[in-house]
Each structure stands twice: as structure tokens, then as C-alpha cells.
Chain A
Amino acid sequence: MNNPIEALNKIFDSRIRLGVMSILIVNDSVSFNELKQLLELTDGNLASHLNTLEQAEYLKVQKAFIGKKTNTTYIITDLGKLSFKAHLDALEKMIKGI
């Protein structure tokens, strides 16, 4: 019997990164502040997790200006969608299998 945990994605071990991906997969684009409010996090904490996801190329960052303020929004990539779905499938299999 192969190990079902192997199919789980290490990047999604963190609840916060899992939360970010859950939000991005159902929204076209989400701003930093919206993510912060939904996940109830501090700036620094959220930023470091977003960085990990960006490095894995699971999300794209878009910087724009609203007046003089920067407005950073995040968009899920195709790779991000695929990985997140694979992770959900693995979770489902695990729960059904046990």
C-alpha cells in the first residue's frame, strides 16, 4: 500500500497558505488588505506566506496605484489551480481511505 500522505502538497501544510489559496481560487483577484481581513493576520505574517506561494509560482502579484497608494492584488496561476485541486483530491482520498 502506498503512503497516502505522499500526495499531499508540502506547501499547503500551513493553514494560512491553504486559506490564501482557497480565497484566490474562487475570486478573480484579491487585494492584500482583503486577504488580511479574511484571514485575520498581521502584515508581516501574511507577506511571508504570500512570498512562499509566489516563489512556487502558485500566484501572480500585480502592483497598481490608487491615487498615491500602492494597491497589490494577487491572482492564482494555472499551476496554482492544478496544485490546489490535486491537494484537495489527496485530502479527499485520505479521508475516504481511512
Chain B
Amino acid sequence: MKNKVLLNMGNQEEQLNALSDIRNMMDRSSRFISLSGLSGIFAGLTALIGAYIAHGELKKYIKGEYGYGVDADVEIEANLFKLGICVLLIAIAGGFLFTLRQSKKKNIRFWDKTAKNLLVNLAIPLAAGGFFIIFLLVNHPNSFGLIAPSCLLFYGLALINASKYTYSDIRFLGICEVILGLIAMFYIGYGLYFWAFGFGILHVFYGLIMYFKYERAK
């Protein structure tokens, strides 16, 4: 009798191990799991610093300290555009490095089918949004107020789309960005604050959650 109980317990352990193996294989083969929470934190901090600098520039513009010899509107636009590109590049580079580090730590290949799936599915809504915003600015003067809501909305949709190919937590972050983008439509002119909250604070917050959930413990 005692032997039978022991046998059953051993068997149960074995079956539980088999189940955890199955789960591990399903995740590893279909989801990109090297995404690091630190990437999110870094991207968020970069966005916050960028937003702070942009805020300062806009203050100068409003005070009339812009446009010596050139059109002030053109100059602030060019400066903010350059700033935006810098923030984007720094955030992507940082995200890339932290994620590379994470994949080395987990001893899995960085570039595989899951990484490709994640990038392609992130890129489709993101590219659509990018073109939408560029065409909006080119064809509709005075549409600057719509930049922040459109950025948040398309970015949120991109995250929701990509969440099937990485940690599913990203899906909820995407939903938050979409909701934030919709709310921002009611507060045109305060776009920078919504932008800073969506790309800065939400990223830092989510990065911390991911870091403690998937990295710290292991």
C-alpha cells in the first residue's frame, strides 16, 4: 500500500514535469521571451527627458525667444522633429542592448523566428501610424494637436498586435496607450503631457512590472 502511494507520487511529479516542459516549449517556440523590462524602463526615462527638453523649447517659443532671422514656426518644428528622432533612436538602441543582454543570460538565440514575428507585427500598425501622421501634417495645416493622440493610438494598436508574439502583458500596456490616446483627443494642446505619460511613465511602470515578474526572481 505504501509502495503504491510512493509510486503514484513519483508518477505525479513526472507528469507535472512533462506539463511544465510542454508549456516551456510552446512559449519558447512561439513567443519572444528575451524582451527585458529594463528596455521599457530605459525607453520610458528617455521619453521623459525628451519631453522635458521639448517643454523647455516650447516655453522659449511662446516667450518669443525663437526665430532670429528665420521663421520661428519653422525653427521650432525642425527642432522638435530632431529631438523626436534622437529620443526614438536612443530608446531603440537602449531597448536593443538590454534585450540582447537578456537573451545572452537566458542562453537563447537573439534573432530567430519569434523575434522576426514580433518585429513584423509591431511594425505594421506603427508604419501605418507614422505615414498617417506625416500625411496629416503635410495635407492639413494646424493639425499639430493631433500628433500626440495619433502616436499613442497607433502605438497602442501595434503593441496589442505584437502581444501575441511575446509576453502577453504587453497587450494590457497597448490597451492603456489606446485609451490614453482617445482621452487626449479631448485635450488638444496638452499633447506633450499625454505623450510624456504614455511613452514615459507607462513604459517605466510596465518595465518595472516585467522586470520583477520575469527577471528578478530568476
Contacts and interface: CB of A to CB of B under 8 A. Distances in A.
A94 B30 contact: no
Contacts of B28: 38
Interface stretch (B14-22, B97-105, B135-143): B14-22
Given A18-B21, A37-B109, A25 B26 contact: yes
A98 B21 contact: no
A98 B16 CA distance: 12
Contacts of B29: 22-23, 26-27, 30, 34, 38
B1 to A, nearest CB: 15
Given A34-B29, A37-B109, A22 B12 contact: no
Contacts of B9: 98
B113 to A, nearest CB: 6
A27 B25 CA distance: 11
B25 A19 contact: yes
B15 A19 contact: no
A88 B26 CA distance: 13
Contact of A95 (B12, B23, B25): B12
B12 A94 contact: yes
Interface string B161-180: 00000000000000000000
A5 B18 CA distance: 14
A22 B23 CA distance: 8
A93 B8 CA distance: 13
B97 to A, nearest CB: 23
Nearest to A19: B25
Q: Chain A CB within 10 Å — which of B8, B15, B19, B23 has the most?
A: B15
Interface in B104-123: 109, 112-113
A22 B21 contact: yes
Contacts of A27: 29-30, 113
B8 A26 contact: no
Nearest to B23: A22
A26 B26 contact: yes
Contact of A26 (B15, B30, B109): B30
Interface of A: 5, 15, 18-19, 22-23, 25-27, 30, 34, 37-39, 88, 91-92, 94-95, 98
Given A88-B19, A91-B18, A95-B19, 16 more contacts: A15-B18, A15-B21, A18-B21, A18-B22, A19-B25, A22-B26, A23-B25, A26-B26, A26-B30, A27-B113, A34-B29, A34-B112, A38-B28, A94-B15, A98-B11, A98-B12
10 contacts: A15-B21, A18-B21, A19-B22, A22-B21, A22-B23, A22-B29, A38-B29, A98-B8, A98-B11, A98-B12
Interface of B: 8-9, 11-12, 15-16, 18-19, 21-23, 25-26, 28-30, 109, 112-113
